[in-house]
Amino acid sequence: MLVDGTPHRTVDWRDGALVLIDQPVLPHSFRLWTTRDHEQAAEAISTMVVRGAGAIGAAGAYGLALATRQAPDGDFDAYVAQAKHTLANTRPTAQNLFTGLEHVAAAIAAAGGGERPDDARDAALAAAQAYADEDAAACEAIGEHGEPLFQDGWGISTHCNAGWLAFVDWGSALSPVFKAHRAGKQVQVFVDETRPRGQGARLTAWELASEGVPHVVLADNAFGFLASRGEIQAVITGADRIARNGDVANKIGTFGHAVIARHLGIPFYVAFPSSTIDAACAGGSEIPIEERSGDEIAYTWGAADDGSFTRVRTTPLASPARNPAFDVTPGGLIDGLISEFGVFPASEDGVGRILAARAAKAAD
């Protein structure tokens, strides 16, 4: 996607280094974050310099490739194993992180690991780059499959950020929106601010403005009111993990939106690349839900009138806070799962068909 006319990927590799778009400073400034150290890459995932299911999957993959370059020949396998553990323990919910790490780890092993460290280093980087390319291609395909679901003149609601900043490129939930807009459809996007970190207000709105897509930012609690007035004709979100039965973990607040959408008869779609599916997870109750620091509730970051980027407290000093980062939406509330292979029901059969399509592609 373009930033001021220059193409960028959210997660990239340049001159032997991992390059990320520094997301916490958006939309007030745009800057790139670079490292050649896997521990710094892990810290970037943990502190949400990079966030979004696909983006952290690619960052983890490249992080493990960095670790192979840092690993000494004599202790290669142990060093890489520890690095993989460090990267895997940054964030627990998004399945793509673990998919990316396993993809690179398998390539390292196939290349001989510590017995042929130079070959393993080359294989790790090639695997990480292939994983990132696959993420971008899958998200563009999601856009092609999802775009026909939206009619000209519709209002479309989305929650959190599942645009190109959340993936390597294109995004999941916003990819069909970008495709619809580029096809000439007149759509209006209702962007939930998505407390507490404001990924909708800060990131989704910035992406849509950059692309020229008509949109409006809402307080999270305004969704039900506007939907009930007929201003919203569809809801689309991303996902951080898909269980085998079609249950979906996504940013906190998604479940409530799905309930309202079902009550009002508004179609509710979830878009994701197949790498988000956790085939070992039977249902949503098994998905680990990250609980982040209460400081994200108690404080807000933003640009002051003097242009400085600052933090202000919004809650009483004596008041504790709870901050679950995700919730689970049952498959029964979802009208369609949009993957790179098409649109499927949110059920065990639908998820199984996506997995079968992924396996068939891998076998080609």
d(CA 240, CA 278): 10
- Of the candidates 135, 192, 240, 247, the residue annotated as catalytic is 240
Number of other CB atoms surrounding residue 19 within 10 Å: 17
Phi, then psi, of 123 in degrees rounded to 5: -65, -35
**Is residue 240 annotated as a catalytic residue, yes or no?**
yes
- Tell me the C-alpha distance between 331 and 263, whole Å: 15
Please name the amino acid found at residue 122. D
Edge-first strand listing for the sheet containing 234-237: 215-218, 188-192, 155-158, 234-237, 268-271, 336-339, 342-344
Alpha helices in 29-116 (DSSP H): 38-46, 53-70, 76-88, 95-110
Q: How far apart (Å, rounded) are the C-alpha atoms in residues 330 and 135?
A: 25
Going from the C-alpha of 319 to that of each of 107, 197, 256, 291, 312, the distances in angstroms are 49, 19, 25, 17, 15
Q: How many CA atoms lie within 13 A of 342 on its CB side?
A: 11
Residue in 108, 110, 125 with CA at minimum distance from that of residue 36? 125
The answer to whether the beta carbons of residues 97 and 128 sit under 8 Å apart is no
- The catalytic residues are 240
